[in-house]
């Protein structure tokens, strides 16, 4: 588990940089969750987990000074924790995915707090960079940019590693203790989450054009694929 958590954390830190630096959209939950799934040899669980998180927070955009919940961290931790827990329990089920989302969705809020802190700390580098630029110290400006990226990467990597360790043990430890009645409830939650997510997505069509529609269709096709695959 430590090795897998380390690999996921290192890769997740890179994916989180896309939110502030690369911006190739690989940080979107539906993409990051799938990539983590590939890394752990279970892309399907990563796809489903990422798609659910994508729809739940698709209406929260980092516009202006707004710092939205870090859905990238949430999708990475949820997908990886469910896959790792599934390996220890014997298989990944709908109920296990639902439990992972319920337990680990708050990591997006914790990630938001980390993003806020990182932005404030990196703002100090920004002020120093302006000062260096006024002196014509281009190399100094470049070093400050690199330092800010390294700090952002390390903070996200450490948080993902810690959250994944705690989350994996929590999901794997709690799931066997759940009585049959609550297990059926988790099954209902699994099918309710896409409905809630699509409702959120439909509310953002006027803001983000075809992206919510794409995500909704993507999730519906994933659900159809699951039904066919399990038959």
143 in any annotated domain: no
pLDDT for the residue 23: 74
What's the Cα-to-Cα distance from 91 to each of 21, 77, 167, rounded to whole Å? Answer: 37, 18, 17
Query: CB of 190 within 8 A of CB of 103?
Result: no
Strand, helix or coil for residue 114: helix
129 in any annotated domain: no
Where is 175: in which H helix or E strand?
none
pLDDT for the residue 162: 95
Alpha carbon dihedral 74, 189, 88, 111, in 10-degree steps, equals 10
> Look-up: residue for tokens 């992972």?
100
In this structure, the chain runs to a length of 231
127 in any annotated domain: no
61 in any annotated domain: yes
Q: Tell me the per-residue pLDDT of 51-107, one tens digit each, with 9 for 90 and over.
A: 888 877 765 665 556 678 899 999 999 999 999 999 989 888 889 999 999 999 999
Number of domains in the chain: 1
What is the phi/psi pair of residue 93, to 5°? Answer: -120, 170
17 in any annotated domain: yes
The Cα–Cα gap between 26 and 28 comes to 5
Q: Tell me the per-residue pLDDT of 107-150, one tens digit each, with 9 for 90 and over.
A: 999 998 998 888 887 777 677 767 666 777 677 667 777 778 88
Q: Tell me the per-residue pLDDT of 166-215, one tens digit each, with 9 for 90 and over.
A: 999 999 999 999 998 888 888 888 877 777 766 666 666 555 555 555 55
pLDDT for the residue 199: 66
CA–centroid distance for 9 within its chain = 12
Query: CB of 30 within 8 A of CB of 215?
Result: yes
The model's pTM is: 0.82
pLDDT confidence band for 154 (50 / 70 / 90)? very high
- What is the span of the domain harbouring residue 201? 2-109+160-230
126 in any annotated domain: no
């Amino acid at each position: 588990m430590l090795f897998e958590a380390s690999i996921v954390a290192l890769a997740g830190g890179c994916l989180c940089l896309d939110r502030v630096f690369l911006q190739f959209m690989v940080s979107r939950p539906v993409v990051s969750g799938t990539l983590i799934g590939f890394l752990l040899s279970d892309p399907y669980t990563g796809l489903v987990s990422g798609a659910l998180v994508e729809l739940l927070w698709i209406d929260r955009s980092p516009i202006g000074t707004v710092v939205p919940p870090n859905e990238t961290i949430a999708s990475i931790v949820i997908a990886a924790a469910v896959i790792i827990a599934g390996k220890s329990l014997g298989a990944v089920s709908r109920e296990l995915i639902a439990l992972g989302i319920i337990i680990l969705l708050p990591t997006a809020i914790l990630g938001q707090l980390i993003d806020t802190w990182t932005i404030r700390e990196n703002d100090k580098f920004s002020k120093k960079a302006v000062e260096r630029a006024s002196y014509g110290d281009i190399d100094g400006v470049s070093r400050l940019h690199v330092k800010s990226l390294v700090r952002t990467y390390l903070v996200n990597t450490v948080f993902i590693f810690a959250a994944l360790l705690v989350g994996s043990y929590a999901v794997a430890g709690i799931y066997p203790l759940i009585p049959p009645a609550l297990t059926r409830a988790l099954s209902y939650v699994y099918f309710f989450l896409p409905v809630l997510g699509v409702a959120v997505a439909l509310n953002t069509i006027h803001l983000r054009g075809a992206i919510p529609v794409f995500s909704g269709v993507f999730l519906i096709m994933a659900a159809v694929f699951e039904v066919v695959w399990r038959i």
